Amino acid sequence: MSINKLDSKIPEGPIDQKWTKYKSSVPLVNPANKRSLEIIVVGTGLAGASAAASLAEMGYKVKAFCFQDSPRRAHSIAAQGGINAAKNYQNDGDSTYRLFYDTIKGGDYRSREGNVHRLAEVSSSIIDQCVAQGVPFAREYGGLLSNRSFGGTQVQRTFYAAGQTGQQLLLGAYSALQRQIGMGNVTMHTRHEMMDVVTIDGKARGIIARNLITGELERHFGHSVLLCTGGYGNVFYLSTNAMGSNVTAAWKAHKKGAFFSNPCYTQIHPTCIPVSGDHQSKLTLMSESLRNDGRIWVPKNVEDAKLVREGKLNPNDITEENRDYYLERRYPAFGNLVPRDVASRAAKERCDAGYGVNKTGQAVFLDYAAAIERYGKIEATKQNLTNPDKATLTKLGNAVVKEKYGNLFDMYKQITGVNPYNEPMQIYPAVHYTMGGLWVDYNLMTTVPGLYALGEANFSDHGANRLGASALMQGLADGYFVIPYTIGAYLSTDIRTKAIPTDHEAFVQAEKEVADRLNKLINIKGTKSVDYFHKILGKIIWDECGMARNEAGLKKAIADVQALRNEFWTNVRVPGEVNEFNTELEKAGRVADFLELGELMCKDALERNESCGGHFREEFQTEEGEALRDDENFSFVSAWEMTQDAQWQLHKEELKYENIKIAARSYK
């Protein structure tokens, strides 16, 4: 296993001076040269839109691509909670160092100090930039910005716009991007999907894209290529990702030599609406904030759970002593507010033991009855009501809960048809975010020169577990404030390279390979739909490489995925033609890539003989069932190189902690 291939290029010097010194010494590109340097940006979510707009403002020629019909629809738009920044507006002792520390600890000591500190440093500028763009963040009556707290922190540093923070931030970046498009500095290609990266002399020099309306393949040259294409959570079929979210761009880069890091680190969010049946196409997240007031429980008696599942027992009729508030029981200090990974595993443990409460046996209760009663009593006291009856208390309490969580309760009712004011909600964990991604150095460059990865598509900042409200921060940090500097280090050496004509052999060859693959897919003419394979793949990965993993299961999953991949390539049915608007063909290409990624995820999970963050190996736990990290042997980033089709070699980047003392995470 080689280590020398992986140079993280972290600048020398004290942690709080690395970025400042780097910025002052990184080579610049003069304005005249910028005009002749072309940059391709794939994906227009927070990372892509902010990068494309910022680079165009600087004078580079930018070409941007997204598969959606508009850049505004990228899945960043669905982020609810907020964005962290070390502004310390609340005067509660926040600082760059504290944000840095919380992020490293939250990531279970598996992320890189240098990158995370830079993220914390630029966090403040993001808020400034967004406010200047007209992003309507929540404000106090005095007119200043409002903050709230989020999991894993002791300060209030989260900026938000109701439950639609991602939407508002993306619309800000999108408007900056549209401005540059209008000025002619960015050429935008919507409904285009990147099908491959083109490399010449080992450097990324362009992409092959497919026009999704006409089906035509196009060649695009760039002095460098930025992949801002999000995470790979849809490998599970059911996740909170959008239907179109995919790994294809990152995977094509991986096949062209970019190492893929920590694929086994996936974040499972504990509070999602459970699966209702086989027709389920995606899962909907209910904001983490619900755990502030809700109590999570299952019946104490397995017979009661069975009756509830069969619809013969109403949960409201189960008495207090017959309920198991398992988070409060297991984690008295943090109770219902333990971090995401811990809460998710505890729910799975109860359901696996037979205490699940919906038809499928995979749901637990999130109960607001106690909160409604508590708020009701407080309101009654405020209104000087003596001895109010239960109906009055409930009415008063409901009003408070409606004020705080009304939109979430409405959403729950809309989706499930159940009124959560009267009956406890049912929740279950679901795949939400992927910490793993393309390996990048401090410049955000992959192991392919000139090829960069930004946002969720890279692996760099969240270690083995991401804290809430940090994904938006990282996407915008990478796009607005990191890549505009770091790309100069590369492009300043490339100013003599003239635009390479796209009739170059490398473009011709890459396009031919893409065309061959599409034709192959459509000519299989098998008997099963793309979704059929995707659902089976999702179940394999969820069962064996989801919330808990073990050696035997992972080995079985690898064999199962390989077999499924073979079946896919001999029996998938893709209707229609290549040269037309063909959504099944789009899906087929993406699922084919997931079928390779799934295997690598299991391999990575099998290799990592420890439990950390989102990766829980059943063999490595304490007697109480808590995760057991092994810093001695596994304090490294795994970086997989694809040596040939579905064959990988593992490289390791050692993680060094010079500023933070490593400790165990305990929430007891």
Partner 1 sequence: MKITLKVWRQKNTKSKGQFETYKLDHVSEDMSFLEMFDVLNEQLINEGKEPVVFDHDCREGICGSCSMYINGRPHGPKNAVTTCQLHMRSFKDGDIIVVEPWRAAAFPVLKDLSVDRSSFDRIMSAGGFVSVNTGNAQDANSLPIGKDIADEAFMSAACIGCGACVAACKNASAMLFVSAKVSQLSLLPQGQPEAKKRAIAMVNQMDAEGFGSCTNTGACSAECPKEISLSNIARLNREYLSASVAGE
Locate 398 and state its tokens.
């409901």
Give me the count of residues in the chain.
Answer: 668
Interatomic CA distance for residues 280 and 636, integer angstroms: 37
- What is the biggest distance separating any 2 CA atoms in the chain, rounded to whole angstroms? 85
Among the listed ranges 242-250, 292-300, 433-441, 608-616, the one in contact with partner 1 (CB under 8 A) is 242-250
Interatomic CA distance for residues 209 and 514, integer angstroms: 9
The answer to whether 178 contacts partner 1 (rule: CB under 8 A) is yes
State which of positions 193-222 bind partner 1 (CB under 8 A): 213
HSE, CB side, 13 Å, CA atoms: give it for residue 88.
11
The answer to whether 423 contacts partner 1 (rule: CB under 8 A) is no
- The one catalytic residue in 110, 112, 323, 340 is 340
Among the listed ranges 49-57, 200-208, 433-441, 607-615, the one in contact with partner 1 (CB under 8 A) is 49-57
The answer to whether 417 contacts partner 1 (rule: CB under 8 A) is yes
Nearer to partner 1, 387 or 414 (CB): 414
Residues 347, 429 contacting (CB under 8 angstroms)? yes
Q: How far is the CB of 167 from partner 1 (least distance, A)?
A: 6
The answer to whether 31 contacts partner 1 (rule: CB under 8 A) is no
Interatomic CA distance for residues 281 and 237, integer angstroms: 8
Q: How far is the CB of 242 from partner 1 (least distance, A)?
A: 4
Nearer to partner 1, 194 or 602 (CB): 194
The answer to whether 139 contacts partner 1 (rule: CB under 8 A) is yes
Residues 246, 588 contacting (CB under 8 angstroms)? no
Q: How far is the CB of 351 from partner 1 (least distance, A)?
A: 20
DSSP-derived pairing of the beta strands 38-42 and 158-159: unpaired
State which of positions 272-291 bind partner 1 (CB under 8 A): 276-277, 279-282, 284-285
Helix (H, G, I), strand (E, B) or coil at 401: helix
CA-based nearest residue to 363, from 413, 293, 409, 416:
416
Q: How far is the CB of 360 from partner 1 (least distance, A)?
A: 12
Q: How far is the CB of 183 from partner 1 (least distance, A)?
A: 8
Nearer to partner 1, 188 or 343 (CB): 188
The answer to whether 92 contacts partner 1 (rule: CB under 8 A) is no
Query: Contact letters (x/-) for partner 1, 494-533, by CB under 8 A?
Result: -----------------------------------x-x--
Interatomic CA distance for residues 487 and 28, integer angstroms: 9
Interface with partner 1 (CB under 8 A), residue from 26, 138, 200, 650: 138
The answer to whether 188 contacts partner 1 (rule: CB under 8 A) is yes
Interatomic CA distance for residues 234 and 519, integer angstroms: 24
Q: How far is the CB of 493 from partner 1 (least distance, A)?
A: 24
**φ, ψ for residue 81, nearest 5 deg:** -65, -60
State which of positions 527-586 bind partner 1 (CB under 8 A): 529, 531, 573, 575-576, 580-581, 583-584
Known catalytic residue at 340: yes
Interacting residues of 537 by C-beta distance below 8 A, sequence separation 6+: 235, 237, 561, 564, 591, 594, 595, 598
Report the C-alpha dihedral over residues 274, 470, 75, 180, rounded to 10 degrees: 170
Catalytic residue annotation: 340
